[in-house]
């Protein structure tokens, strides 16, 4: 899953596309180099960020989705917490919804997904992007995340979303300490036991900068190698979808991994 940030303020500056032309060029590069799907968002969820208006979000993502649809039928997820944005994105050609709030921010978004029979990615996060890193605390990281993801999936089904349309994301970097992110990556097999396709989004996040610290945490621009190591480990552990900034490099890693393990690594 290639990340396409139609934002001026996402944490990794090189991932930002502030014009439609930039976003479309980035989309073409990802598709040409092996992306199986795109995740297009118009609201940054970096730590400390706040909501943008629905109108601004629509202005950022809808023209890009429409433009991509002119040359590709690649599956597109819209990264949003708002029903009105999802409606506009789906009308423009998006196929699924990626909601970092797990359908909790906008009670109408679940009803829309159910009515349109859309797949949804439900992510684990405590608080909001503005508050999530202020004082994250877990006693049993993996157990608590699994329990809360179960609750989110149950609530989605109670809203009419079919179980087969639900994917789960443990929310690496969203209200998590370094040790929590590592617990998630070490516990992918347990997360898969929840019975839903598993999305892992670790690309260039701050915990990788901390792990590769050579005197000071490395900035996002210096986290490619660490990200690729995480992607390889997640793929081997059974992740179904990898959400990444660096599509060609990740595709190369997965191809080599598949050959060396003599098995197919079927992640996207």
What is the extent of the structural domain holding 16? 1-82
pLDDT at 223: 93
Average pLDDT taken over every residue of the chain: 92
Task: Tell me the backbone φ, ψ of residue 156, rounded to 5 degrees.
Answer: -65, -40
Contact between 136 and 176 (Cβ < 8 Å) = yes
167: left (phi over 0), alpha (psi -120 to 50) or beta: beta
Q: Is residue 212 part of a domain?
A: no
Q: Is residue 3 part of a domain?
A: yes
pLDDT in tens, 192-228: 999 999 999 999 999 999 998 767 778 889 999 999 9
Residue 20 falls within a domain, yes or no?
Answer: yes
Residue 68, domain member (yes or no)? yes
Q: Which residues contact 262 (CB under 8 A, 6 or more apart)?
A: none
DSSP run (H or E) holding 64: helix 54-69
The encoded tokens of residue 126 equal 């405590």
Catalytic residue among 205, 218, 223, 255: 205
| Cα–Cα dist 247/253, whole Å | 10
pTM: 0.92
pLDDT in tens, 23-40: 999 999 999 999 999 999
Does the residue 65 lie in any domain? Answer: yes
pLDDT band at 1 (very low <50, low <70, confident <90, very high): very high
Decide if 176 is catalytic: no
Catalytic status, residue 243: yes
- For residue 197, being part of any structural domain is answered with no
Tell me whether residue 225 is in a domain: no
Which tens digit of pLDDT belongs to each residue from 151-174? Answer: 999 999 999 999 999 999 999 999
**Number of separate domains in the chain:** 1
Beta-bridge mates of residue 16: 5
């Amino acid at each position: 899953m290639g990340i396409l940030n139609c934002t001026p303020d996402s944490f990794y500056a090189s991932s930002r596309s502030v014009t439609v032309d930039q976003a479309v060029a980035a989309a073409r590069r990802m598709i040409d180099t092996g992306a199986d799907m795109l995740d297009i968002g118009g609201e940054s969820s970096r730590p400390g960020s706040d909501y943008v208006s629905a109108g601004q979000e629509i202005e950022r993502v809808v023209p890009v989705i429409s433009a991509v649809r002119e040359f590709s039928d690649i599956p597109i997820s819209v990264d949003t917490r708002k029903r009105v944005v999802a409606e506009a994105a789906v009308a423009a050609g998006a196929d699924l919804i990626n909601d970092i709030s797990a359908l909790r921010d906008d009670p109408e978004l679940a009803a829309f997904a159910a009515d349109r029979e859309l797949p949804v990615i439900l992510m684990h996060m405590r608080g909001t992007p503005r508050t999530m890193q202020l004082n994250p605390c877990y006693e049993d990281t993996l157990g608590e995340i699994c329990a809360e993801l179960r609750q989110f999936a149950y609530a989605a089904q109670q809203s009419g979303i079919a179980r087969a349309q639900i994917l789960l994301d443990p929310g690496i970097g969203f209200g998590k300490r370094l040790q929590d992110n590592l617990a998630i990556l070490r516990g992918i097999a347990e997360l898969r036991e929840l019975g839903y396709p598993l999305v892992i989004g670790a690309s260039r996040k701050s915990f990788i900068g901390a792990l590769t610290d050579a005197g000071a945490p490395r900035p996002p621009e210096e986290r490619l190698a660490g990200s690729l190591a995480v992607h390889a480990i997640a793929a081997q552990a059974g992740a179904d979808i990898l959400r990444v900034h660096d599509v060609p490099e990740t595709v190369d890693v997965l191809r080599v991994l598949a050959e060396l393990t003599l098995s197919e690594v079927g992640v996207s």
